[in-house]
């Protein structure tokens, strides 16, 4: 009698384990596509997003990029700001000024500007948006410049000076910022 039930019980255990594995794969997929530590393979930021006291003279809703700190601030009410870690332009590519966000795109395509292709002829001429795209999950375009605040699938570059003038954030952080600001938002870039 025990032998009769052993095979079905083993089969049920096997099916349960297989279903558990499928559930684990589904959970990992949700992490990649819906947030969490593996969000869009962007990893977590080495510089955690945090609310800080902020003494700048900027209206709430203004984005302030401090290239020397390698931090981006979204000014809030009551003398506070959300502080994000960013990657900035390497030597010779840092800049300053005041612009507005003129466009926002989810999973943007990337077409390297001619100046970048002249420096790096190995780059693709165009790349569709997606996980492998260097603009990451979101991009906010700054005025008529070639620059953007955008995501990255290289979280290790956050806090570094490695870009050609754009401001990189983890995909999780750029998605958070993207949801908080709109087209027309003022962006102040401080290049000390």
Instruction: Tell me which residues are annotated as active site.
Output: 150, 166
* Secondary structure letter of residue 29 according to DSSP: H
Rounded to whole angstroms, the Cα distance separating 132 from 69 reads: 28
CATH of domain 50-190: 2.40.440.10
Of residues 25 and 156, more confidently modeled: 156
Strand order in the sheet with 80-85: 50-53, 80-85, 71-75, 63-66, 186-190, 97-106, 138-142, 148-150, 167-168
Question: What distances in angstroms separate CA 128 from CA 104, 107, 124, one per listed residue?
Answer: 16, 8, 10
Rounded to whole angstroms, the Cα distance separating 66 from 26 reads: 39
pLDDT value at 190 more than 50: yes
Rounded to whole angstroms, the Cα distance separating 62 from 74 reads: 6
This prediction has a pTM of: 0.77
* 76: three-class secondary structure by DSSP: coil
* 126: three-class secondary structure by DSSP: coil
Closest to 74 measured CA to CA, from 51, 40, 103: 51
pLDDT value at 142 more than 90: yes
Q: State percent of the chain over pLDDT 70.
A: 78
Beta bridge mates, 139: 105, 150
- The residues spanned by each domain of the chain are 2-34, 50-190
Q: What is the pLDDT of residue 153?
A: 87
Of 38-42, 59-63, 154-158, 169-173, which gets the smallest average pLDDT?
Answer: 38-42
The rounded mean pLDDT for the chain is: 82
For residues 140 and 169, the answer to whether their CB atoms sit within 8 Å is no
Residue-wise pLDDT for 27-73, tens only, equals 232 233 344 444 445 567 789 999 999 998 999 999 999 999 999 99
Closest to 133 measured CA to CA, from 148, 146, 151: 151
Closest to 47 measured CA to CA, from 181, 168, 175, 191: 168
Of residues 150 and 23, more confidently modeled: 150
pLDDT value at 135 more than 60: yes
Residue-wise pLDDT for 69-120, tens only, equals 999 999 999 999 999 999 999 999 999 999 999 999 999 999 988 888 999 9
pLDDT value at 15 more than 90: no
Q: What is the pLDDT of residue 43?
A: 62
Rounded to whole angstroms, the Cα distance separating 4 from 54 reads: 72
Q: What is the pLDDT of residue 57?
A: 93
For residues 158 and 47, the answer to whether their CB atoms sit within 8 Å is yes
């Amino acid at each position: 009698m025990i032998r009769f039930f052993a095979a079905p019980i083993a089969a049920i255990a096997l099916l349960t384990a297989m279903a558990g594995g499928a559930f684990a794969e589904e959970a990992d997929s949700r992490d990649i596509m819906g947030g969490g530590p593996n969000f869009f393979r962007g990893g977590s930021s080495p510089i955690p997003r945090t609310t800080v006291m902020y003494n700048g003279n900027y209206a709430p809703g203004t984005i302030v990029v401090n290239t020397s700190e390698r931090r981006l601030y979204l000014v809030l009410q009551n003398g506070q700001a959300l502080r994000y870690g960013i990657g900035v332009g390497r030597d010779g590519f840092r800049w300053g000024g005041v612009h507005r966000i003129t466009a926002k795109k989810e999973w943007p395509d990337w077409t390297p500007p001619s100046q970048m292709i002249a420096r790096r002829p190995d780059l693709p001429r165009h790349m569709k948006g997606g996980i492998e795209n260097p603009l990451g999950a979101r991009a906010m375009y700054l005025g008529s410049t070639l620059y953007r605040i955008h995501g990255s699938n290289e979280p290790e570059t956050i806090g570094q000076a490695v870009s050609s003038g754009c401001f990189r954030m983890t995909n999780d952080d750029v998605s958070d910022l993207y949801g908080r600001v709109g087209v027309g938002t003022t962006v102040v870039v401080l290049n000390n």
